Amino acid sequence: MVYVSSISMDCALLKHQGHELCPVVEVAVKHKEQLRGALIKVDPQLEDLEKTLHAVYRAEEDLRQTADLMREEVEVFTEGYIRAIQEHRQRLLQDIDEEVRRKEQALNLQRARVRQQLSDFHTAATFTRSLLHCGPDLHIVRAKVLALSRLKDLSIGHHSSAEKVEPVSIQFNPQEEAGQCQGYSVYGTVQRGGVDPERCEVKGQGLKLGSLGSVCRFTLICNTKLEGPQEQPRVNVLHKESGRALQPSIQDNNDGTFQISYTPTEAGQLSVSVCVRGRHIKGSPFNVTVRDFLRPHPGIYHCCTFCSSGGQKDARCGCGGTMPGGYQGCGHGHKGHPGHAHWSCCGSILEKSECSGVKDSAPRNLLRTVAL
C-alpha cells in the first residue's frame, strides 16, 4: 500500500521526520470532495458566463439589425427631406419670379402713367409757349382761359397721382420658419410685397358642412391688405356630382379679410377652392358636405343651465359642464362651460348649426329639465 504524509515531502525529509503517514486513497477521497465542492461553486458561474456570452452575441445581432433598420429610416427620412427641400427651393424661386413680375407690372403701369402725364404736360406747355410767342392778341385773349385751365388740371392730376417709385429690392430670410413642406419643417422665406398665399387661412362652418338652399359663409384671412386686382382672391365652388359651378359672393372688408358666401343648389359634395395670387391657400380645395336639411336642435340656445333652468341642481347640459354645490349642469366660469352661448342638447356654440345629438353626459330628460 502506498502511503503519503499529510505534510509536504520537503517538510518530511528536512524537519519533520516521524510524522504520521496516510494512505493515498484516503487522501485522494478528501481531495476529490474538495474538488467536487469547488466545481459545485464554479458550475453556476460557468453557466452565468455562457448565458452572458450568449447575450452578448444576441445583443450584437440585435445591434446589427437595429442599425440596418435605422439606416433604412435615415435613408427614407433624408430622401424625403431632400425632396421637401427641393420643392421648397422651387417655391422660393417661384416667389422670387412672382415678386419680380409683380414689381415689373407695377413699374410698367407707373411708367405708362408718367409717360402719359409727361406727354400731356409737353403738349400743354408747347401750346402755351406757342400762344405766347406767336399768337395774335385776339387768340391770346380767347385761348388764355383754356390754356390756364389745362395746365391747372394737369398740375392737380400730377399732385393727386404722384407716387413714389416702389422699391425693387427683394430680401431672402434664411432663418425664418416657412412652415411645413411634405411633412417636414423648412426654413427660408422671400420677403414679398402683398399677401403670401401660404400664410392665408380660412375660418367658418361654410367650409365643412352646408344645407341645401341655405347660405354658407366663411372668412378668408390674408393678414395683409391686398393691393390691385391681380391680388384679389379667386373662389371656385363646384358640385362634384353634376360639375355645376356656383357663383360665390366675395366681400372685401378692407382689412386683409374677406367674407365669402355661397348657396348650394344640390345636395352632395362640394369642392371649394380658394386661390390668392394664382396659388391655392393651405388646405385648398376644401371638401364640403351639403345635406338636404340640417338636423334641428331639440334643445335651447342658452348661456348655461343654471340660468335657463332657474337654478335647478339636476338640470344637465350637452356641454358637459358641472358646478360645485351639487349642481349637475353648467354655470358661468365653471369647469366644462364652453365660455359661449351654446345648445343644451349637444353643446355646440354655433346657433345656426346642425345638432350632433344629445351627448352621453346628458340624460334623455335633459331638454325637458332645462326648458323649465
Q: What is the pLDDT of residue 12?
A: 45
Q: Estimate the crossing angle of helix 24-134 against helix 137-161, to 10 degrees.
A: 170
Q: What is the pLDDT of residue 176?
A: 82
Q: What is the pLDDT of residue 370?
A: 41
Q: What is the pLDDT of residue 159?
A: 46
Looking at the chain, which runs of residues are DSSP E strands?
Answer: 3-5, 21-23, 171-181, 184-191, 201-203, 209-211, 216-221, 234-239, 245-246, 249-252, 257-262, 268-276, 279-280, 286-291, 301-302, 342-343
Look up cell 356630382; give the residue.
241
Cα–Cα distance for residue pair 253/273, rounded to 1 Å: 20
Using DSSP's 3-state secondary structure scheme, residue 212 falls into coil
Q: What is the pLDDT of residue 18?
A: 59
Tens of pLDDT along 211-240? 777 888 888 888 666 666 666 788 888 888
Alpha helices (H) in 135-191, listed in sequence order: 137-161
In 3D space, the residue among 302, 300, 297, 296 whose CA is nearest the CA of residue 341 turns out to be 302
Tens of pLDDT along 119-144? 888 887 887 777 777 777 777 777 77
User: Does residue 371 contact residue 311 with C-beta atoms inside 8 Å?
Assistant: no
Q: To the nearest 10°, the Cα dihedral for 321, 323, 326, 328?
A: -20
Please state the three-class secondary structure of 87-122 as a single string: HHHHHHHHHHHHHHHHHHHHHHHHHHHHHHHHHHHH
Look up cell 350637452; give the residue.
318
| Length of the chain measured in residues | 372
Series of mean pLDDT values for 10-residue runs along the chain (372 residues): 48 52 80 84 86 92 93 93 92 86 81 82 79 74 75 62 57 82 84 70 82 84 68 83 85 85 86 82 85 79 87 86 85 79 85 71 44 37
Using DSSP's 3-state secondary structure scheme, residue 311 falls into coil
Q: Where are the domains of the chain?
A: 29-166, 197-291, 296-372
Q: What is the pLDDT of residue 362?
A: 45
Count the neighbouring beta carbons within 10 Å of the beta carbon of residue 347. Answer: 22
Cα–Cα distance for residue pair 178/294, rounded to 1 Å: 39
* Half-sphere exposure for 364 (CA within 13 Å, toward CB): 0
Peptide bond before 285: cis, by omega within 30 degrees of 0? Answer: yes
Cα–Cα distance for residue pair 201/180, rounded to 1 Å: 14
Q: What is the pLDDT of residue 165?
A: 56
Look up cell 345636395; give the residue.
267
The topology (CATH level 3) of 197-291 is Immunoglobulin-like (2.60.40)
